[in-house]
Homo-oligomer: A and B are copies of this chain.
């Protein structure tokens, strides 16, 4: 399953470009040659636009005008994010023929950093689902087992990186949509704190929880890309315990999980004391707010052209339409309560560690497993950090049953460095 970028870090790539061993045009050609249509990662490729961007990046670098570590690097962008002149398909028949007029703000940031946008990657329809197999473009396939889901909703971005087609992809994450495909596909995915990367020009799912995030082979690559987009690292966040070299880590006990997945991830944090939080309670808050906000986005489409949705999406939206207003109000209050509780935990610990997902990637088309329906299962450990807007990183944590699993690290807002430092020092 190796592609052109398999085994190369962003730092390697950047060095190669500056030493003259690589060129932006060469990297782009490698990316395009690595695209495997059977995996269905890309819904749109833009060889012309990307070629022009690569040519310009090459000229700038040759002239000594250096935009930093993403300059000349091929990047893939999820297909709910507008890229001027390209279709934004949302994985939905509703947007058949729609072409974006302007770049989303995060795309402008990518271009300012010199990145070369290769194309648009497949998404779970309207990003409303974590499995990545519901789309008018058909399912994206997991490169570790093509009969299995890649996870979603940023499915194509995850697969494009995992298969070495690009060294970096942009996704969005409302309940886990960057971290879930990262974990199922064996790469790293970082959801920054809420608002850290602007969502302007990104199609909304649930405005209270929508985040833009980055996906790359490793935590170090995610850190490099995140800082290239948002500026230098925050002023050295202090760990709770200065004697703990990379901050004090708590293990958050997953309540419903495949025990093999739990064992594999727990092994990376042998000394972390276990803590419990009300994960199901937070998921209830997540669901009430997400569903009310999602239906607000889609009410007219459901009323006027329900048949254009994929059936599972329509069914979810119809259920979402019935979320009562009073439950939404209570969820807002509960969210405040949970925020205070987790803030207390993060006064005692620097990093909360847990599996990213309680299962490994299910077969495409399968809707439930031993833990119940996949849709709620896949967000059970990721959505709390959208509800609270905290930075969360998923990093590869080996394999279980021959499939990748991810470890998830969460910290205080502004202490993102602690996540990357902790990931770097994990037992391999």
Point out residues on A near B: beta carbons under 8 Å.
Answer: 288, 291-293, 295-296, 299, 320-330
Set B323, B326, B329, B330: member contacting A326, Cβ < 8 A: B323
Given the complex, which residues of B lie within 8 Å of A292, measured CB to CB? 324-326, 328-329
Among A299, A324, A328, the one with the most B-chain Cβ atoms within 10 Å of its Cβ is A324
Determine the residue in chain B with the shortest Cβ distance to A330: B296
Question: How many angstroms between the C-alpha atoms of A288 and B328 in the bound complex?
Answer: 13
Determine the residue in chain B with the shortest Cβ distance to A294: B326
Determine the residue in chain B with the shortest Cβ distance to A291: B325
Determine the residue in chain B with the shortest Cβ distance to A322: B324
Q: Are A299 and B326 in contact (CB under 8 A)?
A: yes
Given the complex, which residues of B lie within 8 Å of A299, measured CB to CB? 326
Given the complex, which residues of B lie within 8 Å of A325, measured CB to CB? 288, 291-292, 295, 323-325, 327-328
Determine the residue in chain B with the shortest Cβ distance to A329: B296
Set B321, B329, B330: member contacting A324, Cβ < 8 A: B321
Q: Are B326 and A324 in contact (CB under 8 A)?
A: no
Determine the residue in chain B with the shortest Cβ distance to A323: B325
Question: How many angstroms between the C-alpha atoms of A296 and B320 in the bound complex?
Answer: 18
Set B321, B322, B328: member contacting A328, Cβ < 8 A: B328
CB distance from A331 to the nearest CB of B (A): 9
Seed contacts A325-B325, A328-B328; 11 additional CB < 8 Å A-B pairs: A288-B325, A292-B326, A293-B326, A293-B329, A295-B324, A296-B329, A321-B324, A323-B324, A323-B326, A325-B327, A328-B329
Among A288, A295, A326, the one with the most B-chain Cβ atoms within 10 Å of its Cβ is A326
CB distance from A313 to the nearest CB of B (A): 16
Given the complex, which residues of B lie within 8 Å of A330, measured CB to CB? 296
CB distance from A208 to the nearest CB of B (A): 10
CB distance from A209 to the nearest CB of B (A): 14
Given the complex, which residues of B lie within 8 Å of A327, measured CB to CB? 325
Given the complex, which residues of B lie within 8 Å of A323, measured CB to CB? 324-326
Query: What are 21 A-B residue pairs whose CB atoms fall within 8 Å in the complex?
Result: A288-B325, A291-B325, A292-B324, A292-B325, A292-B326, A292-B328, A292-B329, A295-B324, A295-B325, A295-B326, A296-B329, A296-B330, A299-B326, A320-B326, A322-B324, A323-B325, A324-B324, A324-B325, A325-B328, A328-B328, A328-B329
Question: How many angstroms between the C-alpha atoms of A296 and B327 in the bound complex?
Answer: 7
Given the complex, which residues of B lie within 8 Å of A288, measured CB to CB? 325
Given the complex, which residues of B lie within 8 Å of A295, measured CB to CB? 324-326
Given the complex, which residues of B lie within 8 Å of A296, measured CB to CB? 326, 329-330
Determine the residue in chain B with the shortest Cβ distance to A299: B326
Given the complex, which residues of B lie within 8 Å of A329, measured CB to CB? 292-293, 296, 328
Question: How many angstroms between the C-alpha atoms of A295 and B323 in the bound complex?
Answer: 13
CB distance from A127 to the nearest CB of B (A): 17
Determine the residue in chain B with the shortest Cβ distance to A296: B326
Given the complex, which residues of B lie within 8 Å of A326, measured CB to CB? 292-293, 295-296, 299, 320-321, 323
CB distance from A325 to the nearest CB of B (A): 3
Given the complex, which residues of B lie within 8 Å of A321, measured CB to CB? 324, 326
Question: How many angstroms between the C-alpha atoms of A293 and B324 in the bound complex?
Answer: 11
Among A292, A295, A325, the one with the most B-chain Cβ atoms within 10 Å of its Cβ is A325
Determine the residue in chain B with the shortest Cβ distance to A327: B325
Question: How many angstroms between the C-alpha atoms of A330 and B321 in the bound complex?
Answer: 13
CB distance from A408 to the nearest CB of B (A): 28
CB distance from A140 to the nearest CB of B (A): 29
Closest 6 CB pairs of A and B: A292-B325, A325-B328, A295-B326, A296-B326, A323-B325, A296-B329
CB distance from A335 to the nearest CB of B (A): 14
CB distance from A23 to the nearest CB of B (A): 49
Question: How many angstroms between the C-alpha atoms of A325 and B330 in the bound complex?
Answer: 11
Among A322, A323, A329, A330, the one with the most B-chain Cβ atoms within 10 Å of its Cβ is A329
Determine the residue in chain B with the shortest Cβ distance to A298: B326
Given the complex, which residues of B lie within 8 Å of A320, measured CB to CB? 326
CB distance from A296 to the nearest CB of B (A): 4
